[in-house]
Amino acid sequence: MVGPMYDCLANPLGAIRLTFEKAVGSGCEPSAFDGKDWGALDVFREFLVDQGNLSQVPVLNSETLKWVQPNTLVRFRGMVQDMLGNEFYAGAYKDGSGWRTNKFGDDSQQPIDSSPDVRVWERRLLYCVPVPGLNTWAESEAASEATVTSMDLTSQQRDKRQRMDAESMDYEVCPGSNIVLEDSPSAKRMREDGHPSLSVQLSDLKPEGPCSSTMMRPEVGDSPSCLVKVYDTRESELKLNDIFEFVGVFTIESEPVPADDGDDIDLTTGFRNDLVHLQANKVPCLHCIVHRKLAVSDFLRSSPIIEQSKHVVMNTRESLLRHLTMLLGNDGVAANYMLLHLLSKIHARVDNVAVGKLSLNLTCLSKEALSVFGVQLCNALRNLLPFTDSIPLTVNYLNTACLGPKKDYQRNRLIGGTLQLAEGSHLTIDETQLETGTLNSVGIENARLLKDLVELQKVEYDFTYYKMEMAADVQLLVLSEGKSNILPADIVLPVRPSDVSRPEVVSAEALGAWRWYLATMRTLSHTIESEIQEVVEKDLVAARQADRRIGSKEFSSLLTMGRLMSLSFGETTLSLEHWEMVKELEKLRKERIN
C-alpha cells in the first residue's frame, strides 16, 4: 500500500484519521463506511506484518501500564471472560465542513451537537482477563521471544527497541538460548504466509486464519484485565473463553464517574452505567484494530524444530516419557498413560459426547505418597503446559469455592469461576485430602459442576434465571486414594511407584522441546485406514464378547487412546502397531485394577 508514512505506533489515531479523511476526500460518503473499514486496517497491517514492527508494540501489563501513553498502539493477550454487549458511538460526524471519525478512539472532546450529521456506528465490548492458570514460563518465553525478534530490526528502530528491551529484560529467564532459536525459516514463513493469511483476516474478517506463530507476540508479566472494544467483527468470530491477542489503541477513561447508587435515579440519565465499576477501577481500554486467536502453540517460543522429522519426534517422545516415568516413581505404565492424557484434546462433539477427552484418575495415592509425587508432578506439569490449575478437593473447598461462573446482575458482569478456563487448560484435582463431611448446597452444586466437566466437558454458567452450558476443553487429572466416585474419569489407573528419586534437573532445551512436542502433536489431525478400522472393530467386538461390562464408554476411551498413541509418535494415521500398544497398555492396566 502506498501512502504517507504514518506514525502508527505513537499516533495511531492520527493515521486512522488521515486515512479516513483521504477516503472521504476521494468522494466516498461516510455512510459507506457503516460497519466497514476505509483502508486504515491496510496501513496497520502493512506496519505490523509487512514491516514486522509488531514486536515494537508495547505489551500491556502492569509494568508497561505505568508508562504507556494513552492513544498509542499497544497489544494485549488474554481470554475473553465476559461480553458486555454492543456500544453505539458517533462514528463519523461533520465538524464544520469536513467529516471526522471517532473510530478506534474515545474522543469525547468535540461538542458534537454543533453538527447535524452524525453516523452512529457500533462496536462490541469484551472484558478480557489474563489467561487463567498461565504459567510463568509461557509469559517469560514470550518476553524473550519478543526481544529476540526485535534484534533483527533495522538500526533506525533500534533506539525504540532498546526501551522495550529494558522493559522485557526483567522477565527474561533464559536469555542465552534465544538467539539460537531464532530461525530464519520462521521469519521467511512469516513473510510468505503471514501476509496472505492476515490480509484475509483483516479485510474479509474471516475467523482466525492460520497466522504464523511468529507474527504476534504475547505480553509480559502479570497483565491486568482489559476492556477491549472490537470493531466490525462478526459475532461468531470472538467467543467466550477464547484466547486472543489484540493490537489496538490504548485509552484509559480518565474522567471521574460517580459510582454511587444515587446515580441510579439520576434524572439526567436515569440509567446506571454498567461500566461504572470498570472505569472506577481504571481498567485500561483497548480499541482493537487487529486481533488474532491464539492457540497453545502460540505461547511457545518460535518452534525449535521446524521440520517435524520423525527422528526428532521420536527422541522427544522418548525423553519426555523417561521424564514422566521418573516423576511417577519409575512407573512406566503410568507414564504412558500420562503422556496420552497430556496429548488429549476434544476434536468433535456429537450431542452430549465430547470425543477426544481422556481424563486420568491416578489412584493408590495416599496423602503421604502425594506429598512426594504430587508436588513433583504439579511442578512438572506447570513446566510442560502453558495453562495449568489445580483444585484441592476438600469438603471445605467444595462448600465455599465458587467454581462455576455466575452472573452478577448488580454489576451486570459475569463473575468468572475457577472452572472458567481457556481451551486446552489442564486441571489437576487432588482428591486425597477429601475427608468425610457434609456438603451444603453450594458443595453439591460444585461437585456436580466438576462431575459434568469430567463427563461431558461442559460447564454450567449460572445466569440466575436460567443456566447455560458452555463447552469446555480441559484436561483433567484426578489424584485419589481409591477410584474417585465423585469424578468418574475415563481411565482409572493405580500407580505403582517403585522408587522415589529426587527430581532431576531438566535442561531448558529439553523443556522447550517437550513443550513444543506436546503443543504440536495434540493439534495434528488424524484419520484411520479402512483395514485398520476393520481390525479395530473386530477387536472391540471381541472384547465386548469377552467382557459384557465393556460398553461404548470403554470403546470410546480405547479409540481415543489409539488416536493419541499414534499422535504421540507424530503419525496421523492409526497403525496396527500403535493399536497393539494401546491394547497392551490396557491389559497392564486391567491387571492392576483386578
Residues 4-23 touching other proteins, rule: CB under 8 A, are none
Least Å from the CB of residue 410 to other proteins: 8
Asked if residue 235 binds other proteins (CB under 8 A), the reply is yes
Asked if residue 408 binds other proteins (CB under 8 A), the reply is no
| 336, 560, 566, 568: residue in contact with other proteins (rule CB under 8 A) | 560
The stretch among 107-115, 142-150, 202-210, 335-343 that binds other proteins (CB under 8 A) is 107-115
Alpha helices in 360-471 (DSSP H): 367-384, 395-400, 441-456
Asked if residue 462 binds other proteins (CB under 8 A), the reply is no
Which of 284, 301, 275, 212 lies closest to 248, judged by CA? 284
* DSSP characters over 140-202: HHHHHHHHHHHHTS-GGGHHHHHHHHHHHHTT-S-GGGHHHH--HHHHHHIIIIIHHHHHIII
Asked if residue 240 binds other proteins (CB under 8 A), the reply is yes
- 145 versus 473: smaller Cβ distance to other proteins: 473
* 521 within 8 A of 568, measured Cβ to Cβ: yes
Least Å from the CB of residue 121 to other proteins: 6
Taking the C-alpha atoms of residue 526 and residue 56, their distance in angstroms, rounded to an integer, is: 38
| 265, 435, 531, 591: residue in contact with other proteins (rule CB under 8 A) | 265
- 182 versus 539: smaller Cβ distance to other proteins: 539
Q: Interface residues for other proteins in 324-363 (CB under 8 A)?
A: 348-353, 355-356
Asked if residue 180 binds other proteins (CB under 8 A), the reply is no
Asked if residue 96 binds other proteins (CB under 8 A), the reply is no
* 112 within 8 A of 218, measured Cβ to Cβ: no
Least Å from the CB of residue 104 to other proteins: 11
Q: Interface residues for other proteins in 515-534 (CB under 8 A)?
A: 526-528, 533
Give how far Cα 127 sits from Cα of 67, 124, 258, Å.
22, 10, 21
Q: Interface residues for other proteins in 380-399 (CB under 8 A)?
A: none
- 87 versus 504: smaller Cβ distance to other proteins: 87
* 578 within 8 A of 571, measured Cβ to Cβ: yes
Q: Interface residues for other proteins in 411-450 (CB under 8 A)?
A: 412, 414
Asked if residue 241 binds other proteins (CB under 8 A), the reply is yes
Sign of CA dihedral 367, 369, 371, 377: negative
- 4 versus 551: smaller Cβ distance to other proteins: 551
* DSSP characters over 53-98: -GGGSPB-STTHHHHPPTTEEEEEEEEEEEEEEEEEEEEEEEETTE
Asked if residue 203 binds other proteins (CB under 8 A), the reply is no
Which cell is 39 given? 483502508
Q: Interface residues for other proteins in 115-134 (CB under 8 A)?
A: 115-122
Q: Interface residues for other proteins in 567-586 (CB under 8 A)?
A: 574
Least Å from the CB of residue 89 to other proteins: 5
- 463 versus 503: smaller Cβ distance to other proteins: 463
96: alpha, beta or left? (left if phi > 0; alpha if psi -120 to 50): left
User: What is the Cα gyration radius of the chain?
Assistant: 26
Length of the chain: 594
Taking the C-alpha atoms of residue 175 and residue 59, their distance in angstroms, rounded to an integer, is: 19
Asked if residue 510 binds other proteins (CB under 8 A), the reply is no
The stretch among 52-60, 138-146, 198-206, 535-543 that binds other proteins (CB under 8 A) is 535-543
Least Å from the CB of residue 99 to other proteins: 13
Which cell is 2 given? 502506498
* 340 within 8 A of 568, measured Cβ to Cβ: yes
Asked if residue 267 binds other proteins (CB under 8 A), the reply is yes
- 57 versus 343: smaller Cβ distance to other proteins: 343
| 210, 463, 482, 500: residue in contact with other proteins (rule CB under 8 A) | 463
Taking the C-alpha atoms of residue 169 and residue 67, their distance in angstroms, rounded to an integer, is: 16
Site size for other proteins, by CB under 8 A?
84
Least Å from the CB of residue 423 to other proteins: 10
* 131 within 8 A of 99, measured Cβ to Cβ: no
Which cell is 320 given? 519426555
Least Å from the CB of residue 444 to other proteins: 9
Which cell is 292 given? 488474532
- 195 versus 451: smaller Cβ distance to other proteins: 451
Which of 317, 205, 388 lies closest to 325, judged by CA? 317
Least Å from the CB of residue 333 to other proteins: 23
Least Å from the CB of residue 406 to other proteins: 12
SS3 content of the chain, % helix, strand, coil (to 5): 40, 20, 40
CB burial of 103-140 (b: ≥16 within 10 Å; e: otherwise) equals: bbbbbeeeebeeeeebbebebbbbbbbbbbbbbebbbb
Least Å from the CB of residue 489 to other proteins: 17
Least Å from the CB of residue 131 to other proteins: 16
Taking the C-alpha atoms of residue 480 and residue 121, their distance in angstroms, rounded to an integer, is: 55
Least Å from the CB of residue 265 to other proteins: 5
- 106 versus 245: smaller Cβ distance to other proteins: 106
Taking the C-alpha atoms of residue 559 and residue 553, their distance in angstroms, rounded to an integer, is: 10
Three-state DSSP state, 291: strand
Which cell is 55 given? 514486536
Asked if residue 31 binds other proteins (CB under 8 A), the reply is yes
Q: Interface residues for other proteins in 480-499 (CB under 8 A)?
A: none
Asked if residue 225 binds other proteins (CB under 8 A), the reply is no
Least Å from the CB of residue 344 to other proteins: 12
- 1 versus 120: smaller Cβ distance to other proteins: 120
